[in-house]
Amino acid sequence: MKNIPTIQRSASQPKKLADLCQAHQEWVSAPDVLTRLTRRLSTTLALETQLGILAEELGQIIPFDSMNYRHRINRQDFVFSTGMGGPHRCEYRLNLEGNCYGTLPLNRRQRFSEEELQGVETIISVAICPLRNACQYLAIEQAALTDALTGVANKRALDEELARCNQLAQRHNQQYSLILCDLDHFKTINDNHGHVVGDHVLRMAAEAMERSLRTSDTIYRFGGEEFAVLLPLTGGKDARDVAERLRIAIGNIRIDCGDTTLSVTTSCGVATHLHGETTEQWIARADEALYQAKHLGRNCTRVFASIS
């Protein structure tokens, strides 16, 4: 058997450990705002939570009436706001290592003094690294739920949102509708014009659909040339109208392919959530409506028969 080496303890090691414990206690109990802010921000990577902590700690040193934060992460606007207005304003761009991690304006009724502005800058300088980390973490989370080609949400995001909406519909008896849209004869586009053009068609279709939706509606790439649209607080008749608007928007797409102009159509299937059904049953009914639209000639919308 091999001899197991023993760890030699130096005479100074107990003192180093004692110093470490003392340093930790001082850090945990430090009363100054910068240490406390650093300690609190290190407990979370949730950007909204961090901004709430920043607002709370900042307000104890430099009073303000409102704090707002805005940053665009992966094509999505992140907005945080607390408090109400005020005519006097100071605004900061949160720049670090050549990158911007949002803008942070403060408003209040009285003008900020130079000393207060310096204080705000000092506190922001401590908070910016944790805020940068939270922004990057949120970007990674969003990327995992985003289709790389079209930039819209992916099927994983759809599955999560359908489960959430299913619970809300059951609990609060709210109406949710689902639209499945499938681009007609898309394989022919890839075969005749190549996948580069096919990818361009998918991106343009996603953009056209996004422009046709309300801000409360969400589009997802369901797979291949198929998209899903989730409509909160929307019944069957209104959902059909939205599907028709999407169908027309996609039908208006024109792509110059040199000697020809390429257009595309889509078929849509609509299903409104029924009380007691699972998300799988809900998707299956929308898929059945989409199949009927395909079977009846394409470039049309069909609603599942149980919807009046």
Query: What Rg do the C-alpha atoms of the chain give, in angstroms?
Result: 27
Is-contact 301 243, C-beta < 8 A? yes
| Count of other CB atoms within 10 angstroms of residue 190 | 15
| Residue at 287: amino acid letter | D
Kindly report the CA angle at 148 between 258 and 46, in degrees rounded to 5? Answer: 150
Distances (CA, A) of 48 to 56, 101, 134: 12, 13, 9
d(CA 263, CA 277): 38
Instruction: Please report how many Cα atoms fall inside a 13 Å half-sphere around the Cα of residue 44, on the Cβ side.
Output: 12
The alpha carbon dihedral of 288, 290, 292, 294 has a sign of negative
CA dist 30 and 182 (Å) reads: 60
Asked about 225 being catalytic, the answer comes back as yes
- Single out the catalytic residue among 57, 116, 161, 225: 225
Angle at 96 between CA 91 and CA 101, to 5 degrees: 55
CA 21 to chain centre: 41
Active centre residues (catalytic): 225
